[in-house]
Amino acid sequence: MSADTASGDLADDRTETAGPGKPGPLALIAGSGDLPAVLAEEVTRRGRPVFVVSIDGETDCDLSAYPGTRLPIGAAGRLKSALKAAGCEDVLMTGNFRRPRFSDIEWTMGTVKALSSIMRLKIGGDDRVVNGVVQIFEAEGFRIVGPRDVAPGLVAPQGPVGRKTPSRASRADIDFGRRAIATMGPLDIGQAVVVLNERVVAVEAAEGTSAMIRRCADLRGNGRIAEASPSGVLVKAAKPGQEMRLDMPVIGTQTIAAATEAGLAGIAVEAGNVLIPDLDAVRRAADAADLFLIGVDAADPASATDR
């Protein structure tokens, strides 16, 4: 079936895939990047069909193998109709999305009723945006799910990933970085920091993790970071109270490449709270770069690093 399935055909698909005790198709709303394709493949591998919603100007990976439709970013009314026709109750939003402009929004009675929630998409930080999206979908009777719900095999495991393990100094930096993220979390500041000698040298902001790491490479290049490489740790974790269904932290091979360029010693992520879409590729990249990658216990910072 093509990616631009007509709504009449969607109803037929629904009768084939849904039934008593069997969930209907998972609605996968795809932003930019490769993650939507990875998750679509993993969900279908686990036996659940997906209905893909590609977004004009956002979706840039190939999802043509899956039934679905393509819509502008602000077509809330048409989105609701398409999901209902496809028999979808569960919705997964994945990939990167820009904030919609008011000129993008198709104004119907439904969007007028959701105006207060839509305003959250325009004002404030990421947490406020995410909560607004959840409220809009839940008000229409859908259930927002996250990667952990539908693809638990893609989340970071606990313990070392690859052959290298952190030194005592790196373990201290990991614990310091996690405390920093926990402290900044209520202010909706970043999911990642770079720590060297128990000092935060970079904080993730709107630019994303890889760009933040590249700033560290610049700092090392101009002498602002005097410690010889490899040194310093990227720490990535969920903020306290973070809405993990729509805003789960992610690392991949690009993260490894950026950390290598910046001369970091390694990367620590919260086990179970960070997505690693292709763990084998990330492991090979870390080993090739001679970086450590470790999943630390989300509940107890000290337990996984054996400080």
**Share above pLDDT 90 across residues of the chain, in percent, rounded to a whole number:** 58
Dihedral over alpha carbons 81, 128, 236, 179 (to 10 degrees): -150
pLDDT band of residue 174 (cuts 50, 70, 90) is very high
pLDDT score at 23 = 75
269 vs 106, higher pLDDT: 269
Interval 209-227 mean pLDDT: 89
Identify the pLDDT of residue 17.
40
Model confidence band, residue 4 (pLDDT cutoffs 50, 70, 90): very low
pLDDT of residue 136: 78
pLDDT tens profile 178-216: 999 999 888 878 789 999 999 999 999 878 898 999 999
What CATH architecture does domain 7-149 belong to?
A: 3-Layer(aba) Sandwich (3.40)
- 138-169 pLDDT, tens digit per residue, is 888 899 999 999 999 999 999 999 999 999 99
Return the pLDDT at 134: 75
Question: Could you tell me the residue ranges of all domains in the chain?
Answer: 7-149, 155-296
Q: Check residue 11 and give its pLDDT.
A: 33
Three-state secondary structure along the chain? CCCCCCHHHHHHHHHHHCECCECCCEEEEECECCHHHHHHHHHHHCCCCEEEEEECCCCCCCCCCCCEEEECCCCHHHHHHHHHHCCCCEEEEECECCCCCHHHCCCCHHHHHCHHHHHCCCCCCHHHHHHHHHHHHHHCCCEECCHHHHCHHHECCCEECCCCCCCHHHHHHHHHHHHHHHHHHHHCCCCEEEECCCCEEEECCCCCHHHHHHHHHHHHHCCCCCCCCCCCEEEECCCCCCCCCCCCCECCHHHHHHHHHCCCCEEEEECCCCECCCHHHHHHHHHHHCCEEEEECCCCCCCCCCC
* Cβ atoms of residues 225 and 196 within 8 Å: yes
**Positive or negative torsion for Cα 61, 64, 66, 72:** positive
Q: Which two tokens stand for residue 298?
A: 């989300």
- Sign (positive/negative) of CA torsion 208, 209, 215, 217? negative
Q: Are 181 and 301 in contact (CB under 8 A)?
A: no
Rounded-to-integer distance, Cα 144 and Cα 33, Å: 20
pLDDT at 96: 85
Section 291-306 average pLDDT: 73
Q: 18-32, 105-119, 132-146, 223-237: lowest mean pLDDT where? A: 105-119
Q: Indicate the pLDDT class of residue 109, thresholds 50, 70 and 90.
A: very low
When pLDDT is cut at 50, 70 and 90, the band that residue 12 belongs to is very low
Asked if residue 10 has pLDDT above 50, the reply is no
Q: What is the pLDDT of residue 5?
A: 35
CA–chain centroid gap for 18, Å, is: 28
pLDDT score at 13 = 36
Local confidence band at 137 (pLDDT 50, 70, 90 cut-offs)? confident
Summarize pLDDT for 41-60 with one digit per residue, the tens: 999 999 999 999 999 989 99
pLDDT at 114: 52
Question: Is the model more confident about 123 or about 208?
Answer: 208
Q: Which fold has domain 155-296?
A: Cytidine Deaminase; domain 2 (3.40.140)
How many Å apart are CA 204 and CA 223, to the nearest integer?
A: 21
pLDDT confidence of residue 292: 98
Which residue type does 122 have?
K
| Residues in Cβ contact with 304 at an 8 Å cutoff, skipping those fewer than 6 apart | 158, 159, 271, 294, 295, 296, 297
Mean pLDDT value of segment 2-7: 34
* Residue 212 structure tokens: 């933040």
> What percentage of the chain carries pLDDT values higher than 70?
79
